[in-house]
């Protein structure tokens, strides 16, 4: 009880500070029901990037009369979504999630199955967009994303090398580039300690054919030959990266790319696409930027990356009217009619009528290569955090790969025991 | 003061303290004694836009009853305090019996997250606090000696580091020391080493954080000491001058004893503040090289799966740490007060 009270108090403060309401007044004025919503409250929590902004705007277009629609799109969404959906009634009626961030909502039983709403109201989306968990539709996906390889055509030609297909190729090209003085640091990746570094481990580990957990249990299984090979490859790559790599995240890597300093990098499709516009880039960079597909490693032929989807979920602890209003507003937001040339460049949409643009080449290549989707396991995030905190010790040369992996497993097991995932 | 008057006078403060200090601490302590229920899993088929596969999921219906009966979770006693993420008694024991000497033992100790953070936190606290007191005092003496017209401007600029939000201040410094930033690049030039990076070495990262800590907090010491200097007894100073005391002797034997109580005050506040060092670690992206107790709490709460009990435990340990740190100063103040009474 006390815990809930404290949480409620903290959340009230957080909401007053962070929540921005964009109820459109012009829509209020005309007073007609829109999108088939008679009444209800819609409040959206989600990440903040152009594609999600488009979705938020689409949902808000349904505001009319008493139907108030607001959205809080913020980079801090992960910290807000669980407390924001925990209340009864929940502060937020819609959470825009990805395959990792749906897990904490599932773990705490905070989102409702959408089957009845789909049966009643339908919607302009395909069967494959329905994210089904244990036979129930829990989310509707609208876009895909993946980290993939990006390279500079001109710098590669200068080095006289073929475009890399594997991480071993990357090492060979990087060596030539460094020796010839084409680039001081030829490779870039978001190796900043924490989430980003752990994600690069995940990518490389899957590429080595590794399994994160022992079959059917929450016990970790990363401290094996695949894990050691993964760390070995990461260490080799860091030799060709800016020495500050443990502090560099996607923003810094992108800035280096725009400055024309980087010939090769691993980057999110949603962030690499905008580089093609050349906005803020040095002359000649955008023209020769190629969004390639995923790399493989160690001759396994498995894409060393993960696939991601973004979709919407509806809160459990809200009235049926609010749930219906939320569903209808979101269905309107992802309707094929939103598609135009500008929106098409924002993401790899799963929406009908979307025609792939050059900005989506990398993600499509990753999907075609059958990369593994990021696992929706209840305990995956804990392993991710543990890796994020421990891997830096190995990459900065403080300890061996075995010791680092053992530490990460021990840190994970401690956390998993606290959460009741392991006895 | 009459007891009755005192009671009514103190009541609002007492209520505020109860509400905003005592209750949160009770809640944190309670939380640290509980952990989540044992989760019941079931394997289900999950389908997303990329295809279907079988995955483990939490069976919410099965745990619902447990959660209803015991909303706080399983009672764990002090076990969270002694686990690997905190005091790690088992691991420390193994390190102690398994290591040949102090060096090896410390190496093993630093590998444990809590001790790693504690060692940085203590190093930071005990280097930054004395340095900022000395620096603040020097600035105060210097400003006090300035021409009246200049004082206002100089005071304003000396206060800037404290006015700037810590996170913004650390970000500014972080960009300046980047290998392409003004300080980082100058250092590379001075040491003729194009690969020199302040962010890549643990030692240099610590130095950087400590420099930031002093830069940020020195204005606080300066303001307090400067105010103290305004109350300096002029007669004592003048008689010291007549006696032929040099400027240094005047500072040593008149000024310093006069502002000593303020030094205690600044030390008290800054020990507390520095023990909770947090913003620069985030601002400098320094978690690969330096973590603090506050950073551990932030990290536990910031993951996609939040570790509430672990964060609560670290919070309680931080409170205990602050209490231990302040005890010598508090004991001294208590004795002084008793003597006066």
Tokens of B325: 């740190």
- Chain B residues whose beta carbon lies within 8 Å of the beta carbon of residue A241: none
Asked if B303 lies within 8 A of A247 by C-beta distance, the reply is no
Q: Predicted ipTM?
A: 0.89
Residue A118, pLDDT > 50, answer yes
- pLDDT tens for each residue of B170-229: 888 888 988 888 988 898 889 888 878 888 888 999 999 999 999 999 999 999 999 999
- Strand intervals (E) in chain B: 34-35, 41-48, 51-58, 74-75
Other CB atoms closer than 10 Å to residue B230's CB: what's the count? 7
Which among A378, A389, A423 is the nearest to B56, CB-wise?
Answer: A378
Exposure string for A206-217, b = 16+ CB within 10 A, e = fewer: bbbebebbeeee
The mean pLDDT of chain B is 90
- Lowest-pLDDT range, A83-97, A131-145, A344-358, B84-98? A344-358
Residue A21, pLDDT > 60, answer no
From residue A302, give the alpha-carbon distance in Å to each of A290, A373, B223: 21, 13, 62
- A194 and chain B in contact, CB less than 8 A: yes
Query: What does the angle CA A144 – CA A238 – CA B176 come to, to the nearest 5 degrees?
Result: 90
Cis before B327? omega within 30: no
Which among A1, A3, A247 is the nearest to B285, CB-wise?
Answer: A247
Question: How far is C-alpha B12 from the geometric centre of its chain's CA atoms?
Answer: 29
Residue A329, pLDDT > 80, answer yes
- pLDDT tens for each residue of B260-292: 999 989 998 999 999 999 999 999 989 999 999
Average pLDDT over residues A338-365: 88
Q: For residues A252 and A289, what is the distance between their CA atoms, to the nearest angstrom?
A: 17
Q: Walk me through the domains of chain A, giving residue ranges and CATH numbers.
A: 2-144+308-360 (3.40.190.10), 146-306+370-418 (3.40.190.10)
Q: What is the pLDDT of residue B305?
A: 84
Residue A30, pLDDT > 80, answer no
Looking at the DSSP bridge assignments, the partners of residue A310 are A98, A143
Please, which residues 132-161 of chain A have a Cβ atom closer than 8 Å to chain B?
132-135, 141, 144
Q: How far is B314 from chain A (nearest CA, A)?
A: 13
Q: For residues A110 and A22, what is the distance between their CA atoms, to the nearest angstrom?
A: 25
**Top-confidence residue, A378 or A23:** A378
Which residues fall within 8 angstroms of residue A401, CB to CB, at 6 or more apart? A227, A228, A231, A232, A394
Asked if B56 lies within 8 A of A218 by C-beta distance, the reply is yes
Asked if B305 lies within 8 A of A382 by C-beta distance, the reply is yes
- Chain A residues whose beta carbon lies within 8 Å of the beta carbon of residue B304: 78, 100-101, 103-104, 381, 384-385
Give percent of chain A above pLDDT 90. Answer: 68
Closest residue in A to B44 (Cα) is: A134
Could you give the count of Cα atoms lying within 13 Å of B335 in the half-sphere of its Cβ? 6
- A196 and chain B in contact, CB less than 8 A: no
Angle between helix axes B113-144 and B148-163 (nearest 10 degrees) is 170
* Residue A42's pLDDT band (cuts 50, 70, 90): very high
Asked if B56 lies within 8 A of A107 by C-beta distance, the reply is no
Domain ranges of chain B: 127-271
- pLDDT tens for each residue of B27-36: 999 999 999 9
Q: What is the pLDDT of residue B328?
A: 85
Q: How far is B95 from chain A (nearest CA, A)?
A: 14
- B165 and chain A in contact, CB less than 8 A: no
**Dihedral (CA of A275, A277, A283, A284) sign:** positive
Please, which residues 115-154 of chain B have a Cβ atom closer than 8 Å to chain A?
none
- Chain B residues whose beta carbon lies within 8 Å of the beta carbon of residue A132: 45-48, 52
- Chain B residues whose beta carbon lies within 8 Å of the beta carbon of residue A192: 285
Asked if A419 lies within 8 A of B35 by C-beta distance, the reply is yes
- B287 and chain A in contact, CB less than 8 A: yes
Please, which residues 213-252 of chain A have a Cβ atom closer than 8 Å to chain B?
216, 218, 242-249
- Chain B residues whose beta carbon lies within 8 Å of the beta carbon of residue A347: none
Which residues fall within 8 angstroms of residue A353, CB to CB, at 6 or more apart? A336, A339
Please, which residues 174-193 of chain B have a Cβ atom closer than 8 Å to chain A?
178-179
* Residue B114's pLDDT band (cuts 50, 70, 90): very high
Looking at the DSSP bridge assignments, the partners of residue A130 are A140
Cβ proximity of A37 and A62 under 8 Å: yes
Please, which residues 307-336 of chain A have a Cβ atom closer than 8 Å to chain B?
307, 309
- A382 and chain B in contact, CB less than 8 A: yes
Reading phi first (left if > 0) and then psi (alpha if -120 to 50, else beta), residue B134 is in: alpha
Average pLDDT over residues A106-134: 91
Tokens of A145: 């994303």
* Residue A175's pLDDT band (cuts 50, 70, 90): very high
Asked if B285 lies within 8 A of A100 by C-beta distance, the reply is no
Bridge pairing between strands A41-46 and A94-98:
parallel
Closest residue in B to A79 (Cα) is: B302
Residue A18, pLDDT > 90, answer no
Asked if B48 lies within 8 A of A381 by C-beta distance, the reply is no
Could you give the count of Cα atoms lying within 13 Å of B239 in the half-sphere of its Cβ? 6
Cβ proximity of A422 and A219 under 8 Å: yes
- Chain B residues whose beta carbon lies within 8 Å of the beta carbon of residue A294: none
**In chain A, count of helices (H) and strands (E)?**
17, 11
Instruction: Give the fold, CATH level 3, of B127-271.
Output: MetI-like fold (1.10.3720)
Residue A355, pLDDT > 90, answer no
Tokens of B94: 């193994």
- Chain B residues whose beta carbon lies within 8 Å of the beta carbon of residue A135: 44-45
Average pLDDT over residues A213-227: 93
Cβ proximity of A264 and A149 under 8 Å: yes
* Residue B341's pLDDT band (cuts 50, 70, 90): low
Residue A27, pLDDT > 50, answer no
Asked if B57 lies within 8 A of A106 by C-beta distance, the reply is yes
Which residues fall within 8 angstroms of residue B165, CB to CB, at 6 or more apart? none
Query: In a 3-state reduction of DSSP, which class is residue A316?
Result: coil
Closest residue in B to A185 (Cα) is: B195
Closest residue in B to A110 (Cα) is: B60
Residue B133, pLDDT > 50, answer yes
- B258 and chain A in contact, CB less than 8 A: no
Closest residue in B to A375 (Cα) is: B55
Which residue carries 């640290």 as its tokens?
A: B32
Average pLDDT over residues A349-354: 88
Q: For residues A250 and A274, what is the distance between their CA atoms, to the nearest angstrom?
A: 13
Which residue carries 């399994």 as its tokens?
A: A211
Reading phi first (left if > 0) and then psi (alpha if -120 to 50, else beta), residue A344 is in: alpha
Q: How far is A60 from chain B (nearest CA, A)?
A: 26
Q: What is the pLDDT of residue A231?
A: 97
Of A224, A231, A159, A155, the residue nearest A198 (C-alpha): A231
Please, which residues 273-302 of chain A have a Cβ atom closer than 8 Å to chain B?
none
Alpha helices in A261-358 (DSSP H): 269-272, 320-333, 341-344
Q: What is the pLDDT of residue B72?
A: 87
- Chain B residues whose beta carbon lies within 8 Å of the beta carbon of residue A4: 71
Asked if A104 lies within 8 A of B64 by C-beta distance, the reply is no
Average pLDDT over residues A88-108: 93
Which among A130, A243, A307 is the nearest to B197, CB-wise?
Answer: A243
- Chain A residues whose beta carbon lies within 8 Å of the beta carbon of residue B48: 99, 131-132, 141, 309, 373, 376
Bridge pairing between strands A136-152 and A306-314:
antiparallel
Average pLDDT over residues A194-211: 95
Predicted structure pTM score = 0.88
- B286 and chain A in contact, CB less than 8 A: yes
**Top-confidence residue, A331 or B1:** A331
Query: In a 3-state reduction of DSSP, which class is residue B317?
Result: helix
Give long-range contacts, CB 8 A cutoff, 24+ apart: B326-335.
B326/B268, B326/B271, B326/B272, B329/B264, B329/B267, B329/B268, B329/B271, B332/B264, B333/B264
Give long-range contacts, CB 8 A cutoff, 24+ apart: B60-63.
B60/A106, B60/A109, B63/B37, B63/B39
- pLDDT tens for each residue of B8-67: 999 999 999 999 999 999 999 999 999 999 888 888 888 888 888 888 888 888 888 888
The mean pLDDT of chain A is 88
Q: For residues B107 and B115, what is the distance between their CA atoms, to the nearest angstrom?
A: 10
Residue B136, pLDDT > 70, answer yes
Q: For residues A1 and B72, what is the distance between their CA atoms, to the nearest angstrom?
A: 8
Q: What is the pLDDT of residue A416?
A: 95
């Amino acid at each position: 009880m006390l815990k809930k009270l404290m949480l409620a108090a903290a959340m009230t403060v957080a909401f007053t500070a962070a929540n921005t309401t964009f109820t459109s007044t012009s829509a209020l004025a005309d007073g007609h029901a829109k999108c088939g919503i008679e009444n209800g409250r819609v409040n959206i929590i989600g990440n903040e990037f152009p594609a999600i902004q488009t979705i938020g705007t689409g949902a808000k277009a349904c505001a009319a009369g008493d139907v108030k629609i607001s959205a809080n799109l913020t980079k801090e969404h992960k910290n807000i979504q669980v407390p924001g959906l925990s209340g009864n009634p929940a502060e937020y009626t819609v959470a825009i999630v990805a395959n990792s961030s749906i897990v904490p909502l599932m773990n705490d039983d905070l989102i409702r199955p959408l089957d009845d709403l789909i049966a009643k109201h339908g919607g302009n989306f395909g069967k494959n967009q329905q994210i089904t968990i244990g036979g129930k539709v829990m989310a509707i996906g609208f876009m895909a994303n993946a980290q993939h390889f990006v390279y500079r055509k001109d710098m590669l030609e200068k080095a006289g090398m073929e475009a890399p297909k594997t991480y071993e190729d990357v090492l060979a090209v990087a060596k030539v580039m460094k020796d010839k003085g084409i680039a001081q640091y030829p490779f870039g990746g978001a190796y900043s300690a924490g989430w980003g570094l752990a994600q690069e481990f995940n990518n490389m580990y899957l590429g080595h054919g590794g399994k994160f957990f022992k079959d059917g249990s929450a016990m970790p299984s990363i401290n094996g030959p695949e894990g050691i090979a993964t760390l070995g490859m990461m260490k080799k790559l860091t030799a060709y990266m800016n020495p500050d790599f443990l502090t560099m995240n996607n923003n810094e890597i992108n800035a280096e790319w725009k400055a024309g300093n980087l010939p090769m990098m691993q980057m999110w499709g949603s962030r690499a696409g905008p580089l093609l516009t050349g906005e803020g880039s040095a002359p000649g960079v955008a023209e020769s930027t190629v969004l390639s597909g995923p790399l493989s490693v160690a001759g396994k032929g498995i894409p060393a990356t993960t696939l991601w989807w973004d979709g919407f979920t509806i809160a459990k602890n809200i009235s049926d009217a609010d749930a219906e209003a939320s569903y209808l507003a979101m269905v309107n937001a992802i309707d094929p009619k939103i598609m135009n040339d500008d929106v098409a460049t924002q993401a790899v949409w799963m929406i009908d009528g979307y025609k792939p643009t050059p900005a989506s080449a990398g993600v499509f290549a990753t999907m075609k290569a059958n990369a593994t989707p990021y696992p929706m396991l209840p305990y995956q995030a804990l392993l991710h955090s543990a890796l994020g905190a421990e891997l830096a010790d190995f990459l900065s040369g403080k300890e061996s790969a075995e010791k680092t992996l053992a530490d990460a497993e021990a840190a994970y097991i401690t956390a998993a025991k606290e959460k009741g995932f392991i006895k | 003061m009459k007891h009755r008057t005192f009671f009514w006078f103190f009541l609002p403060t007492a209520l505020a303290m109860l509400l905003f200090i005592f209750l949160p601490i009770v809640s944190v302590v309670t939380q640290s004694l509980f952990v989540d229920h044992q989760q019941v899993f079931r394997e289900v088929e999950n389908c997303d836009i990329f295809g279907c596969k079988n995955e483990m999921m939490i069976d919410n219906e099965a745990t619902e009853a447990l959660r209803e009966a015991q909303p706080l979770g399983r009672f764990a006693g002090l076990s969270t305090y002694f686990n690997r993420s905190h005091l790690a008694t088992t691991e420390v024991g193994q390190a102690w019996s398994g290591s040949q000497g102090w060096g090896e033992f410390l190496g093993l100790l630093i590998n444990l997250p809590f001790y790693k953070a504690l060692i940085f936190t203590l190093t930071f606290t005990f280097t930054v606090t004395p340095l900022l007191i000395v620096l603040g005092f020097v600035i105060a003496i210097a400003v006090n000696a300035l021409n009246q017209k200049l004082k206002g401007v100089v005071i304003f600029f000396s206060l800037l580091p404290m006015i700037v939000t810590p996170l913004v201040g650390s970000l500014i410094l972080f960009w300046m020391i980047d290998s392409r930033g003004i300080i980082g690049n100058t250092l590379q030039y001075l040491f003729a080493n194009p690969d020199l990076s302040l962010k890549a070495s643990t030692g240099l990262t610590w130095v950087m954080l400590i420099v930031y800590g002093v830069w940020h907090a020195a204005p606080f010491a300066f303001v307090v000491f400067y105010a103290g200097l305004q109350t300096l007894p002029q007669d004592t100073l003048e008689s010291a001058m007549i006696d032929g005391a040099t400027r240094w002797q005047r500072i040593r034997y008149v000024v310093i004893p006069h502002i000593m109580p303020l030094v205690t005050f600044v030390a008290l506040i800054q020990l507390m503040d520095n023990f909770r060092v947090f913003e620069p670690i985030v601002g400098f992206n320094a978690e690969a090289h330096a973590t603090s107790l506050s950073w551990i709490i932030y990290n536990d709460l910031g993951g996609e799966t939040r570790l509430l009990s672990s964060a609560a435990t670290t919070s309680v340990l931080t409170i205990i740490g602050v209490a231990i740190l302040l005890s010598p100063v508090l004991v001294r103040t208590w004795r002084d007060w008793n003597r006066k009474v």
